[in-house]
Amino acid sequence: MPTTLSTAEDGFHRFGGSVRVDGARLIRRLGELGRIGSAAGKGVSRLAFSPEDQQARQLVVEYMREAGLAPYVDPAGNIVARDREADSGEPVLMLGSHIDTVPGGGAYDGSVGVLAAIEVAQTVKENSLPLRSPLVVTVFADEEGTRGTPPMWGSHAMAGSLTEEHLATVTTAGEPMDTLVASVGGDLSRIAAAAWPAGAIDTYLELHIEQGPVLEHHEVDIGIVEAISGRVSITVDIDGRAAHAGTTPMELRSDALVAAARIILAVQDIADRERLVRVATVGRCEVTPGTWNVVPGRVRIPIDLRDIDLGALDRAITAVRRLTAQIADQTSTTITATTIDRVLPAPCDPTLRRLLAEASDELKLTRIEMASGAGHDAQVITSIAPAAMVFIPSVNGISHAPDEYSEACHIVNGADILLRAATSHVPGSCRTPASAPPQNATTREEHRCGSSGSAE
């Protein structure tokens, strides 16, 4: 039998123990939201700040109001919805995720977490359940970063970690970031006001689909995330010598694509055979001149390394540099490996992980602890608040694709875990002295969501 956290007993067992979310309402809303940006056989395309995204935001704001929340748009374009007590200056319990998608994505990534958070708020209101902290539900803007924009834009704004480079971003279509943010009611001239000080968020919890096959493979209901993987992105440029494919003998070639092929296989071995990191991927290969009858003269490949251990990532970087030097000598090419991005691993708060595990056990659900291979807004929020995540199974492990799907029972289970955690919630173990959360009085007055759900 699990050991109940003594600090949670009064809230959890007296108030949240027998109350469940309205699963039918949650699944109905998920279907309604999933139709926005969908096309038959092509999945859901709801890129951040697009007309489809704006329509989805309006619908979500309507749901927030039905749940008794007061939504507004912060300067970064995040939708922040507070209950009445969340303006008291007390540290808040925040639930959230995102609703933007990749092109041709699915209806579950992010949306499950947002709608479950709203359902928790509505269930709390309808049943007059006391909360340990005032509740805030957040829809983070532009988690995906699929338009050439910075991924996890909204959570970086909330954490105060946007850089001048981020703010100056221009999309692949030539749109400046300030124009995109303004289209949903944000205001980059006031971006500093989007940041929450350390201590203002007492706890952050996020429900998410796994986006992988582990839970389904092991026939487990719930994944309690122990940490969100760090990521290293390396660009490898390989310079050989373009030459005629018919007249250049094999022993006299400097074939950049052959070198790239060897690197790709060696990168697989870094994770698969040497076990230096959890996963290692080469997802693209740009060949110049890219003609069937020319020996390739130049190739660029990106390497993606992920692990929850920073030391493992450092060792993998060293291995990449060593193997590229060896392959350059073997193939008479020049190879340059440049680290272009580095995201630190983010451990989830152990007290909150135990709380989520207890909620799962009370619901008689099977669970495992697991790492998150994908990045999430929770990863950024860990820099300013204790945070934890719950995963539910993804059918066939598919995500970011039209066939992305999670079963209704698992979605409702995940929402019930959030409800129990919210009504039994204890402060995270790394809580810092509280500072008042942003009140956003000016933002709420100038950019409050209109009656149709849009930001005025």
Q: Which of 97-101, 102-106, 164-168, 445-449 has the lowest mean pLDDT?
A: 445-449
- Cβ 406 vs Cβ 213: under 8 Å: no
Look at 24 and 88; give whichever has higher pLDDT.
24
pLDDT of residue 260: 99
The identity of residue 185, as a single letter, is G
- Helical spans, DSSP H, in 67-191: 111-126, 153-159, 164-167, 177-182
Answer for the pair 316, 277: CB distance below 8 angstroms, yes or no: yes
Q: What is the pLDDT, as a whole number, of residue 17?
A: 53
Name which residue leads in pLDDT, 220 or 12.
220
Confidence band for 86, pLDDT divided at 50, 70 and 90:
low
pLDDT for 326 beyond 90: yes
In this prediction, residue 251 carries a pLDDT of: 96
Q: What is the pLDDT of residue 61?
A: 99
**Pick from 96, 118, 100: nearest CA to 51:** 100
pLDDT 10s digits, 223-277 = 999 999 999 999 999 999 999 999 999 999 999 999 999 999 999 999 999 999 9
The response to whether 400 counts as a known ligand-binding position is yes
Q: What burial class does residue 189 get, using C-beta atoms within 10 Å of its C-beta: 0-12 exposed, 13-18 middle, 19+ buried?
A: exposed
Containing H/E element for 63?
helix 51-66
Chain center to CA of 415: 18
pLDDT tens digits for range 34-76: 999 999 999 999 999 999 999 999 999 999 999 999 999 999 9
Provide the 10 A C-beta neighbour count for residue 28: 12
**pLDDT tens per residue, range 338-357:** 998 888 999 999 999 999 99
Q: Distance between CA atoms of 394 and 223, rounded to whole angstroms?
A: 11
Tell whether the model's pLDDT for residue 15 goes beyond 50: no
Cβ(385)–Cβ(93) under 8 Å?
no
Helix (H, G, I), strand (E, B) or coil at 374: coil
Q: What is the pLDDT of residue 2?
A: 28
Q: What is the mean pLDDT of the chain?
A: 90
The yes-or-no verdict on residue 451 having pLDDT over 80 is: no
Tokens of 317: 């970087």
Dihedral sign, CA of 422, 426, 429, 434?
A: positive
Is 105 within 8 Å of 405 (Cβ atoms)? no
Please report the domains of the chain, with CATH numbers, ordered by start residue.
6-228+346-447 (3.40.630.10), 230-343 (3.30.70.360)
Q: How many CA atoms lie within 13 A of 380 on its CB side?
A: 22
**Helix axis angle, 408-423 relative to 23-34, nearest 10°?**
120
**Residue 84 pLDDT:** 76
Spatial distance between the Cα atoms of 141 and 80, rounded to a whole number of angstroms: 10
Say whether 98 counts as a known binding-site residue: yes
Q: Quick check: 189 pLDDT over 90?
A: yes
144 is in an annotated binding site: yes
Token readout for 196 is 């929450």
pLDDT of residue 425: 52
Q: What is the pLDDT of residues 369-409, one digit of tens each?
A: 999 999 999 999 999 999 999 999 999 999 999 999 999 99
Q: What is the mean pLDDT of residues 185-211?
A: 97
Share of the chain above pLDDT 70, in %: 89
In this structure, are residues 307 and 239 in contact, taking their beta carbons and an 8 Å threshold?
no
What value does the mean pLDDT take over residues 431-446? 37
pLDDT at 32 over 50: yes
- Binned at pLDDT 50, 70 and 90, residue 18 comes out as confident
Q: Are 231 and 304 in contact (CB under 8 A)?
A: yes
Q: How far apart are CA 347 and CA 358, in angstroms?
A: 19
Distance of CA 239 to the CA centre of its chain: 35
